[in-house]
Structure 1
Amino acid sequence: MSKIARRLVLAGLTLTLIGGVFTPTLAQAATIEPDTSEATVSADSVHYQFNTIQSPYNIITDESGKTTNVPWYSPTADNPNIKQTFLSADILNTDSNFKTTFDAYDTADGNIGKVSDRMINLATNGLDGNPNQSLATALAATSPLNVSVADFITYESDLDFTYGWLFKSAAQTALKLRTQADIQAEYQKDIVPKLNEIDTINPDSNSDVKFDYYANDFPGQASGLLENADSIHLTKSPEQLAKLNLQASSDQEKALLMQPLKNFIVSQDGSDPANPTLLADGQLSTTAHPTCFVFGDSKPTTPSTPSVSNATSKPVTVHYVDEQGNTLKPDKTLTGSLGDTYQTEALNIDGYTLIKTTGQESGTYTNSDQSVTYAYRKAAAHAANVANVASKNSAIYATKKIRLYSSPTFTKQAVKTTYAKKSRMNRPMFKVIGTATSKNGVKRYQVQDLNGKGTTGYVTTRSSYVAPVYYANRPTKITVINPKGLNAYAKTSLTGKATHYKQGQVLKVKKIVTHNLTTRFVLSNGAYISANKKLVIAGKYTMPKRVQAKTAVNRYGTANLTNRNRHYPKKAHATFTVKGWAYSNANNFRKGDTLRYKVAGGYITGNKQFVRVIN
C-alpha cells in the first residue's frame, strides 16, 4: 500500500475514533451537575471566567519516572502560524484570525479545529462546575453522548491503552523485536476486549474494524504507522515507542481524570478568590484523545497538572550551539512566576550566522521545563556579520509586545516601560537616537518614545519585534486605514493641501520618494501622501459593509465603548452599516486594543461572538 493511502486510512481512523462523535464540548454556560458518587463533592457549582487559556498537552513519563507536560502544538521556525502555549482570553475573544492561523498549524491533525473551538469557548463563556467534582465528571456532562462518568473514564483509558499498543507494536515490528504472529495473538487477547468496550460506549466508532486493518499486517504497515505517531502528538523514536508501558499509561489516564476540577483551574497570582486571575489548564482544551504515556517500567510520578494552591513554574533554558550541537556560548536559564512572560534572544557570535531557532522564543512560564535552541553556522571568512539596523533619527514601531529598558543589557530590573501588542494603526513609535551593545554582544536600539512621554531607553533590534514606520518600497495600491482619513498635499513636505481621503479609500501609487528620513507616496494624480504604515497599508484592505447582531448589543459614543447611547435587544437582530473601524485604547500603550465598528450614531463591538458579517 502506498504511503499516501496509509496516511488516508490512519487519518480516517483518527478522525472517526478519536475526533468524531465522541468529542466532548463545553456547552455555553453549561451547568455541570455534581457527581454524587464522589464523596468529596459539595452541592455548590462555581462559574469560572478565565483570563488565560492553555493549549492541550500530553503527560509523558520517561524511563527514569520523571513526568513532564509536553504541549501538543509548539511554535517552531518552520511553523510560524502556531500561537503560544498560553493565550490571553482577550486575544481569543478578539483576534478574528486566531482560529485560521491556529488550525493552519497542522492541517493533518483532524482535531486541531475542535481544540481551537474549545479554547475560544473557554475564553468567551468560561466554565461552570463544582470544584470538587472530577475532571471526568465535568467532561462527561458536556459530551454529545449520554454516558456515565464511569463509562467516560473507561473510554478514555481504553483509548490510551489501544493507541499506545498500536504504535508500540509498529515500533517493535520495525525494530524486528516481535513477530506478526506474536503481535496478532496479543491483539486478540488484550486489545480486542478493550475495543469492544470502546464500541459499546460509542457504537459509531467501529474501532475493531479499523484496528483489524493494522493488526493483520504489521510488517506492511509499521513504517506508515510510525510516520503518523504524531496523530496522538507522540514524537518519540521507534526505540522509545517500543518501550511504551500500556497499563501504566492507562492507569495514569484514569488518575488524571479522577483529579478534582479545581486542579485544572489555576490562580496565576494568588489574588482574592472572589475575583481571581484564572488560567484554564490545557486538559480543559483537549478533545477525546489519549494524553498520558509512560515509557519503561518505572513508576510514574504524579502528573504535573497545576493546582490552585501549589502551582509553580519551571525554567526556560536557552542553548547556543553550532550545526553539530557544540556549545558556542554558555546556556542561559530564565525563571519567573507561572503565567509570566519570558523573552529569549539570539546572540551575535563573531564568525557565526544564526541559521535555525528551535523552541518558543517568547511565551509564558509553565509548570513544565522549556528550552529554546539557537543554532549557528560558521560564516565564510570574507562575510561580514553586521546587524541590519535602522538609521539614526529614523522612526520604528513595535509589532509585538515590547519593553523599554534603561540599559542595553536586558534584565527584569532594567525594565522602564512595557508596551502591549497593538493593532497596526495604534502601534507605539520610537525615534532611533543611536545603537548600543549588551554585555553579551547583542545589538540594541537607543530610542526616544514618540507616544507622548519622550522617555529614552533601549529596545531590541530584532525585525520580528520592531520595524520601520515608513515604507521603503512602492506598492501599486494602498488603502487608507487611519480612522480620521488622510490628507494629500502638493509638496513632498506635506504642505499645500490638495484633497482629503477617507478611511477605506484605495489609492493608486505612481512612485515613492524620500523626504529627510521619511518617505512619501506620489499618487497617480501627482499629489503626495505620507507613507507611514500606521496611516496606510499596501494593497486593497477591505472591511465589512454591513454586520448583524447575533445577540443583544449596545452602541456607544466612543471606540472604548463608553457613553452608551442605545441598546439593541437580541430579538431585534439589529443590522448596521459599517462606516469605518477603530480600535479601543488607541492612546493607552499598556493595554491591547480591540476592534470596533463605526456605525451611524457611534460605535459597536467588532467581536465575532456578538456580530456577524452579512456583506
Structure 2
Amino acid sequence: NTPNTPNTPNTPNTPNTPNTSTNTNTDNNSNNQSSVDNNDNKNSNYNSNNLIKKNTIVYPTKSMNLYKGTYFSKNNLLRHYTNKPMINKPIFVVDGYGKSKTGLLRYKIHEMNHKNRIGYITVRKDYVLPVYATQTSGLVTVISAGGVNSYQNKNLTNKVAHYRQGSQLKVKGIVWNNRSTRYVLTNGNFITADKTLVLSGSIKQVKSFTANKGLSIYKDIQLTHKLKTLKKSQVMKIKNWDYSDKENTLKYGSLRYRVAGGYVYAKSKLITNVK
C-alpha cells in the first residue's frame, strides 16, 4: 500500500537579525580570494529572513572554505573542505552570524566532530543546507555503512530494529525532536532523518560482483594491508559500501566494497558483473 502523505514539520522560527561581528581586515576585492568567494562577497542579497536558524546542524553541498574572520581572503583561510560523498560530509553547527564591514552576512560555525574548528562560512543556500530532512516522498533508503536503528520514541529510545545499508523503508510522516527531525515509519516507529545516514527516495544498492584475476582484499578501507588475492571468476557478496579518506577534508575519497574478510577497490578493472 502507498504510505500516507508525510506531515511537514513546522519550520523553526526565523532567526533574529544577526549581530555585526567585528573584523580587523578591510573588506575589498582581493587577488587572494577564490572565484567562489569573490562571488559571495559581491552577493549582498541575503538578509536575516534568508538565514538558517541558530543551533541548526548543517552540511556543505559543495567544496567550500572555513575562515577565521568575516572577510573571506587567503590570509583568513583556516581550512578547505573538498566536496565529499554524502555519507562522509562534514557536519557543522550554526553558532551565530557575522557581517563583514560592508554588511555581507556569514555563518559563524563549529565543526560538530572537531569542536576546535571554529570560524565563518558562506550563507549561500547553494553551499550550505540543514542536515535534517523536513519532507519525504514516502520512501527512504539507508545509506550509512553501519545502518540505522528504529525506535519506539522520537527521541530515539527503546530500540526496536536495525536496518542495514541499502534497506528501503516506507515512511508516513516526519516530526521534530528538539533541533533534529525523525522519519515516522508506517509501523509507527522512528528513525533519524539525518541526510548523511538516510536519504529520501530509492537508492540503488550493489549486492555482488565477480572478481577477475588479481583482485586483492585488504584489511583496511585505505587498502594499505593486503590480506589475499581472489581467484578469477570468484563471486563476492557485498556487505556494504563506503569511501576512503573519511577524515581528510582535502580528498573526496574512493569507493570501497566491504566483503568477507576486508575491503576491495570498487572501481577496479578487476571487478566485473556487478549486480
Which range, TM-score by smaller chain? 0.7 to 0.9
Residue 584 (structure 1) aligns with? 244
Counterpart among 254, 266, 272 of residue 594 in structure 1: 254
Q: Percent identity?
A: 35
In structure 1, give the amino acid aligned to 2:244: S
In structure 2, give the amino acid aligned to 1:581: W
User: Using a 3 Å threshold, how does the CA distance of structure 1 residues 542 and 535 change in structure 2: closer, same or farther?
Assistant: same
Residue 271 (structure 2) aligns with? 611
Residue 429 (structure 1) aligns with? 91
Residue 466 (structure 1) aligns with? 128
| SS of match in other structure, 1:507 | strand
Counterpart among 122, 129, 137 of residue 475 in structure 1: 137
| SS of match in other structure, 1:455 | strand
Residue 201 (structure 2) aligns with? 539
Residue 502 (structure 1) aligns with? 164
Per the TM alignment, residue 342 of structure 1 is displaced from its structure 2 partner at its CA by 4.6
| Matches of 2:51 and 2:269, distance apart in 1 | 41
Per the TM alignment, residue 348 of structure 1 is displaced from its structure 2 partner at its CA by 3.9
User: Using a 3 Å threshold, how does the CA distance of structure 1 residues 453 and 562 change in structure 2: closer, same or farther?
Assistant: farther
| Matches of 1:342 and 1:392, distance apart in 2 | 28
| Matches of 2:269 and 2:62, distance apart in 1 | 25
| Matches of 1:403 and 1:335, distance apart in 2 | 13
Per the TM alignment, residue 548 of structure 1 is displaced from its structure 2 partner at its CA by 2.7
| Matches of 1:385 and 1:436, distance apart in 2 | 12
Establish whether residue 450 from structure 1 lines up as the match of residue 147 from structure 2. no
Residue 393 (structure 1) aligns with? 55
Residue 139 (structure 1) aligns with? none
User: Using a 3 Å threshold, how does the CA distance of structure 1 residues 440 and 552 change in structure 2: closer, same or farther?
Assistant: farther
> Per-residue displacement from partner, 1:442-469 (whole Å, max 9, x unpaired)?
2210001112343211011112222111
Instruction: Decide whether the 8 Å contact of 1:544 with 1:613 is kept in 2.
Output: no
| SS of match in other structure, 1:582 | strand
* Bigger Cα Rg: 1
Instruction: Decide whether the 8 Å contact of 1:476 with 1:508 is kept in 2.
Output: yes
Per the TM alignment, residue 335 of structure 1 is displaced from its structure 2 partner at its CA by 5.3
Residue 523 (structure 1) aligns with? 185
With CA pairs under 8 Å and 6+ residues apart, which has the higher RCO, 1 or 2? 2
Residue 153 (structure 2) aligns with? 491
Establish whether residue 345 from structure 1 lines up as the match of residue 39 from structure 2. yes
Per the TM alignment, residue 423 of structure 1 is displaced from its structure 2 partner at its CA by 0.6
Per the TM alignment, residue 332 of structure 1 is displaced from its structure 2 partner at its CA by 4.3
Task: List runs of 5+ in structure 2 lacking aligned partners.
Answer: 1-27
| Matches of 1:348 and 1:457, distance apart in 2 | 20
* RMSD of aligned residue pairs (Cα, Å): 2.2
| Matches of 2:229 and 2:84, distance apart in 1 | 28
Establish whether residue 514 from structure 1 lines up as the match of residue 208 from structure 2. no
Counterpart among 200, 215, 219 of residue 557 in structure 1: 219
State TM-score, norm by structure 2. Answer: 0.82
Residue 334 (structure 1) aligns with? 31
| Matches of 2:83 and 2:213, distance apart in 1 | 29
| Matches of 2:211 and 2:166, distance apart in 1 | 22
Instruction: Decide whether the 8 Å contact of 1:479 with 1:540 is kept in 2.
Output: yes
Instruction: Decide whether the 8 Å contact of 1:446 with 1:457 is kept in 2.
Output: yes
Per the TM alignment, residue 408 of structure 1 is displaced from its structure 2 partner at its CA by 1.0
| Matches of 1:513 and 1:438, distance apart in 2 | 36
Q: Which has the higher strand share?
A: 2
Task: List runs of 5+ in structure 1 lacking aligned partners.
Answer: 1-330, 354-383
